[in-house]
């Protein structure tokens, strides 16, 4: 038996794990009590890492689809075939004929972060899509517009704040999202123990609302009005105190003029939140000694996602919380992802090019996933004819999944880098399965950049991979050199490949640490060697003020009245005063929800996470259920403009009247040919079969899957 320490790679919380291995099998996983950041916490998903590693349905060798069958093949044969097919398509139709879809697990490994931009560039395609444009693109866009990098993402300083307002987020279940904060429940409890206040604004009484001091129901999709009205109160009542930010933030007067147009009474009509409550919340926020406003999916996944999230920044700036202890702060990670990303990729940017079919601007070199099916199905120059799917399941993740299904089925070629034959990868011609995280060494490049404490950790390999297996780094590197050989010649491509093998990841990480904010340049002398001496992770302390020094805008200032948002403001004001409803009888609003034991679709093959009753039910308020003749356990038909599906009913006053709620990532049984046998035995439907790909935030392209008008009737 041996005991190993690694961070969990399943979600952003990055909890430290103590993993016991016997005969090269994981036999026990528990929270690592010596981890300075997570201090022994883990959620049920962390234990299931064991199931993922030893899942009998997991592919171990490359497979090729021959008719309805999957046939194993050798690695070199598979790499050669994939490269040949991609190169042939590029030669005939150009680089943009090859699209990439990236699932969110790619952010949990160093290799995809480093290699995928190189692969995209080697192929010469701008057709990059990811799960980010279904849930968080407004945040990246605003970080780019305001701070100069899509990766400079502020987080609430939860450990020191006295007042935390959470809007459209459920950290108790997500364990922090775009906020790395392991054991968030304990952090929130401590907030309240030190006399602080936690306020949750959400159309559902979420698990986080259940431990809050106050929960405020808000009509889905209307946060933009609520937030603007709160800013209005702060401006009108002379409560604005930007403090130190005034020295590097421009446009405060213009912003004040904008939010003055949204009164609490106007907002009440739209949001359902009483004007007096809006006024009180604004005053409490302004009066708190230390405070922060935090928002996630419920705000981002709407047609006003970017402007609504901009108001999160506005509230934090106006009340002097930006970059202040206990407020809205930026991490200073040892691996300086925003700066390295700017030096080595084309991520920082907006609207440098537009999507072919609908003309939607790119954000951080990505097009919105809502238009992926258009780009595959619409003939013409630049049409996508081949896809590379990396750890993603767009059929279940992207709006109008049936159309994505149809699009993937129509491709000339598709390759997937994935463990499973899932709803999307079943359309692949070849699947290249990587080893799991525990079978490789790992360094977290991403999440220390959105962490509530600065920390760094190197993860040693926990179990030996099977003979003749490949890590994700091996797979991406093998494809990269073959693609580069076509343009640079085999010798040059081989030389580059040899350099990658030599420098990645250890020498590269070490160089980045030495050159980074905690390295030699700043007299802190952090090296990989030192990091590796701390198997439980190295805590680098609480966040501290870093602005304006860390700003990456050309003039190192924040233009709060950014022209992109200012230009969108008339749309907000028009919607505020537009009382017309064109819902064709769809009189309820659909929102999403997540379960602690579920992580999108990719943990659904773990039996220990999916036991008990059907989790994919539609939650309906008792009044709405009674009005439609629905009862607990009955079957309802949910209809949108994109179609309908049937689901079991859960009657609950946890949702506000007029709102129904359903999780995404289910419906494995409804599609033929998937290879994850346990997932396929589970009940449920994919809510994205009925979400609409024409509904999105026009600034960021983020899918507007929240506040979707639906009708509900007995099935």
Binding interface with ligand SF4 (CB under 6 A): 8, 10-11, 13-15, 42-43, 45-46, 175, 182
Please enumerate in sequence order all residues whose Cβ is within 8 A of that of 390, keeping only pairs 6 or more positions apart, or say none: 100, 101, 102, 103, 106, 112, 116, 416, 417, 418
Q: Shortest approach of ligand SF4 to residue 15 CB, angstroms?
A: 3
Element (H, E) at 699: none
Question: What is the number of the residue whose Cβ is closest to ligand SF4?
Answer: 46
Of the pair 11, 660, the CB lying nearest ligand SF4 is at 11
DSSP SS3 for 211: coil
CB of 492 to ligand SF4, least distance (A): 41
Q: Are 622 and 632 in contact (CB under 8 A)?
A: no
Minimal distance, residue 123 CB to ligand SF4, in Å: 33
Q: How many helices (H) and strands (E) does the chain have?
A: 26, 30
CB 31 → ligand SF4: shortest distance, Å? 8
Q: Whole-number minimum distance, CB 444 to ligand SF4, in Å?
A: 11
- The residue among 42 and 540 lying less far from ligand SF4, judged by its C-beta, is 42
The residues near 611 (Cβ < 8 Å, ≥ 6 apart) are: none
Question: Which of 494, 461, 466 lies closest to 478, judged by CA?
Answer: 494
Is the Cβ of residue 7 or residue 565 nearer to ligand SF4 in the bound state? 7
The maximal CA–CA distance of the chain, rounded, in angstroms, is: 72
**Alpha-carbon span 51 to 9, nearest angstrom:** 14
| Residues 290 and 197 sit within 8 Å (Cβ to Cβ) | no
Residue 600: DSSP 8-state: T
Closest separation in Å from C-beta 7 to ligand SF4: 7
The token duo for 453 is 């404490």
Nearer Cβ to ligand SF4 (14/127): 14
Pick the closest to residue 262 from 297, 289, 283, 234 (CA basis): 234
Are the CB atoms for 358 and 378 separated by under 8 Å?
A: no
Tokens 């080697």 sit at which residue? 122
Nearer to ligand SF4, 17 or 630 (CB): 17
408, 427 contact by CB (below 8 A): yes
Taking the least distance from each CB to ligand SF4, the nearer of 13 and 229 is: 13
CB of 14 to ligand SF4, least distance (A): 5
**What is the enclosing helix (H) or strand (E) of 314?**
helix 305-318
- CA–CA–CA angle 223, 226, 230 (5° rounding): 135
User: What distance in Å separates the CA atoms of residue 383 and residue 96, rounded to the nearest whole number?
Assistant: 7
Helix (H, G, I), strand (E, B) or coil at 523: coil
Which CB sits closer to ligand SF4, 48 or 707? 48
CB of 517 to ligand SF4, least distance (A): 24
Q: Which is nearer to ligand SF4, 197 or 664 (CB)?
A: 664
- Pick from 514, 560, 9, 22: nearest CA to 246: 560
Minimum distance of ligand SF4 from residue 678's CB (angstroms) = 19
| CB closer to ligand SF4, 11 vs 407 | 11
- Least distance from ligand SF4 to the Cβ atom of residue 42, Å: 4
Q: Which is nearer to ligand SF4, 43 or 687 (CB)?
A: 43
């Amino acid at each position: 038996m041996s005991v190993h320490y690694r961070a969990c790679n399943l979600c952003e919380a990055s909890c430290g794990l103590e993993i016991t291995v016997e005969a090269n099998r994981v036999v026990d996983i528990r929270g690592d009590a010596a981890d300075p950041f997570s201090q022994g916490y883990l959620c049920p998903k962390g234990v299931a890492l064991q199931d993922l590693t030893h899942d009998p349905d997991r592919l171990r060798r490359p497979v090729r689809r021959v008719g309805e069958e999957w046939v194993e093949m050798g690695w070199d044969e598979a790499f050669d075939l994939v490269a040949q097919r991609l190169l042939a398509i590029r030669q005939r139709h150009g680089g943009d004929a090859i699209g990439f879809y990236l699932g969110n697990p790619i952010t949990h490994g160093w290799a995809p972060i480093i290699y995928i931009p190189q692969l995209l560039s080697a192929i010469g395609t701008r057709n990059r899509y990811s799960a980010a444009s279904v849930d968080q693109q407004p945040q990246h866009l605003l970080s780019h517009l305001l701070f100069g990098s899509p990766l400079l993402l502020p987080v609430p300083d939860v450990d020191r704040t006295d007042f935390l307002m959470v809007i459209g987020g459920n950290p108790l279940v997500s364990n922090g999202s775009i906020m790395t904060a392991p054991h968030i429940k304990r952090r929130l409890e401590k907030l309240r123990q030190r006399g602080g206040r936690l306020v949750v604004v959400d159309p559902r009484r979420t698990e986080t609302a259940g431990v809050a001091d106050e929960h405020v129901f808000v009509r889905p999709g209307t946060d933009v009005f609520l937030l603007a009205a709160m800013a209005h109160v702060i401006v009108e009542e002379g409560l604005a105190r930007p403090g130190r930010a005034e020295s590097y933030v421009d446009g405060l007067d213009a912003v004040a003029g904008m939010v003055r147009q949204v009164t609490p009474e106007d907002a009440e009509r739209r949001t359902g939140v009483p004007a007096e409550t809006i006024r009180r919340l604004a005053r409490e926020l302004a009066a708190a000694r230390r405070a922060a406003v935090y928002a996630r999916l419920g705000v981002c996944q709407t047609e006003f996602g970017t402007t609504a999230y901009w108001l999160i920044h506005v509230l934090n700036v106006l009340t002097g919380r930006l970059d202040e202890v206990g407020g809205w702060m930026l991490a200073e990670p040892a691996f300086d992802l925003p700066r390295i990303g700017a030096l080595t990729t084309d991520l920082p940017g907006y609207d440098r090019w537009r999507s072919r079919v609908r003309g939607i601007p790119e954000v951080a070199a990505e097009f919105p996933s809502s238009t992926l099916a258009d780009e595959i199905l619409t003939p013409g120059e630049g049409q996508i004819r081949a896809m590379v799917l990396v750890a993603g399941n767009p059929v279940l993740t992207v709006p109008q999944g049936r159309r994505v299904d149809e699009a993937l089925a129509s491709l000339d070629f598709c390759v997937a880098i994935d463990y499973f034959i899932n709803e999307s990868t079943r359309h692949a011609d070849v699947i290249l399965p990587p080893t799991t995280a525990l079978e490789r060494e790992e360094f977290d490049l991403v999440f220390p950049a959105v962490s509530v404490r600065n920390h760094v950790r190197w993860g040693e390999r926990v179990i030996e991979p099977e003979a003749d297996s490949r890590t994700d780094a091996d797979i991406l590197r093998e494809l990269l050199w073959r693609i580069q050989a076509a343009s640079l010649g085999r010798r040059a491509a081989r030389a580059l490949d040899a350099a990658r093998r030599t420098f990645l990841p250890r020498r590269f990480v070490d160089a980045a640490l030495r050159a980074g904010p905690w390295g030699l340049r700043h007299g802190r002398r952090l090296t990989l060697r030192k990091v590796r001496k701390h198997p439980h992770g190295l805590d680098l302390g609480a966040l501290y003020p870093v602005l304006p020094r860390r700003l990456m805008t050309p003039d190192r200032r924040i233009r709060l009245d950014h022209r992109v948002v200012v230009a969108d403001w008339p749309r907000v004001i028009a919607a505020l005063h537009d009382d017309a409803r064109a819902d064709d009888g769809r009189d309820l609003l659909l929102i999403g929800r997540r379960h602690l034991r579920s992580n999108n679709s990719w943990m659904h093959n773990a039996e220990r996470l999916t036991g008990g009753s059907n989790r994919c039910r539609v939650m309906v308020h008792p009044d709405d259920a009674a009005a439609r003749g629905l009862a607990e356990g009955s079957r309802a038909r949910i209809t949108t403009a994109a179609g309908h599906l049937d689901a079991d009913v859960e009657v609950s006053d946890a949702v506000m009247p007029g709102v129904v709620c359903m999780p995404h990532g289910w419906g494995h049984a409804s599609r033929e040919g998937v290879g994850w046998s346990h997932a396929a035995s589970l009940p449920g439907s994919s809510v994205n079969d009925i979400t609409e790909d024409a509904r999105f935030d026009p600034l960021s392209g983020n899918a507007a899957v929240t506040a979707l008008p639906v009708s509900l009737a007995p099935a």
